Chains A and B, each alone.
Chain A
Amino acid sequence: MRDQPAAPLVSASGLQKSYGALKVLKGIDLTMKPGERLVVIGPSGGGKSTLLRVMMGLETINGGSVTLAGKPYIRAGATPARTVIDIAVRRSIGMVFQHYTLFPHLNVMQNLILAPCKVRGEKKAKASERAAALLSRFGLGEKLAAYPSQLSGGQKQRVAIARALMLDPKLMLFDEVTSALDPELVGEVEQVILQLAKQDMPMMIVTHDMWFAKNIASRVLFCAGGVIVEDGPPEQVLGSPKEERTRDFIDRVFHIRQ
């Protein structure tokens, strides 16, 4: 990658995904350069969360392929069940979900070190050390022994982010990570993500929070009806969108037309 700085980190072409007769993704082409922070916005049911789940390798696909850092990652097969997903490549992606998905029977520390110990065979002591450092950076230094049920939503989501970072991902996916939070807790989670952005962590973010989108995005996609309607820098897509549908959506979100 050092030789070819312009090589894309992610390159997806012709992604199609259906649930039965319902087509959720209708052929999505997407390239993402290293260090880019992609924010995906759009109406509910427009396919943005599905796009992220496909990127994480959680879904089979009906058509298309994805490469990550030049390596083949996902390829559609003759049937959705035959979708080929390279597990080794998948391990270099981290994801944070809307509903935390911490393991409720493990405490914060155990949640963080489970994957490094079991996936990479890291020593428990070393993993714990890294985990503690990461948690204190996120302001959770005192919560190492707490169980998820003893944490607030914002704390849980920060733990979930730390857990994903333990595997040193090349790409982070955030799927509506603040949607389930009480309004006063949204800020602390967004701060952590902004902190990651400063370190040039490549990320794809699905969010409904336009303020956050504007602050973190290096590029914004507007996704509706299973296709990418508009793709550009945040000032353009959020400020003066070219497409009629994007303008409609942005106006409605910002309550300009009442």
Chain B
Amino acid sequence: MNYSFDFQSVTRNLGPLFDGLAVTLQLTVAANAIGLTLGFVLALLLMSPWRLMRLPVTLFVEFFRCTPALVQIIWFFYCVPMLFNVFLGSITMGILALGFNLAAFNAEAYRASIQAVPREQLDAGIALGLNPVQRILYIVLPTAFRASIPVLLTNGIVIFQQSALVAIVAVQDLMYQAKSLATQTYRPIETFSVAALIYFAVSFPVTQLVDYLERRRLAVAG
């Protein structure tokens, strides 16, 4: 290997990279806000006893889960303005595309953990004389929410990584800045490595936290 590294070309230009990181974080936080709330509503609708209610929601969720995020984002950026004659600014569009994607995945996470609440818990609720609404409020939701936290966190960090895709539609996030810096400086190795490290530095603590939570949950269960 006879490549001579020059990390200074990157360190001199950390400014744009951190601007990009700020955009990336903004996208992530806003998408998570949508994902956590809309996802919960979708989960409740998914379990609705009315077929007519369930069907469109199921379609929505499955569509986002079964197509590439890249396709969704490009579709969103090109088609929504044409179909509905609105364009909300590229960052807002990015937030919405990522947020809907996350909502679909979170809806599944919520649904799975709500359905995993053990039958005995509900029986105990009946035995204690709680009415159906009370049983959902005091027994199902707290248990389910706690059980879904690791998956929600994982989904949240996945969307942080997926947010790099908006660079392809020219949102100036970390990925976009890295790409243009690499072209300007002719230093792709150094630039992409530093950008990857920045992504990693944000994701890693969260994945470690998830692992810790999982281990603790297993230890309590076992």
Direct contact of A and B (CB under 8 A): no
Residues of A at under 8 Å CB distance from B?
A: none
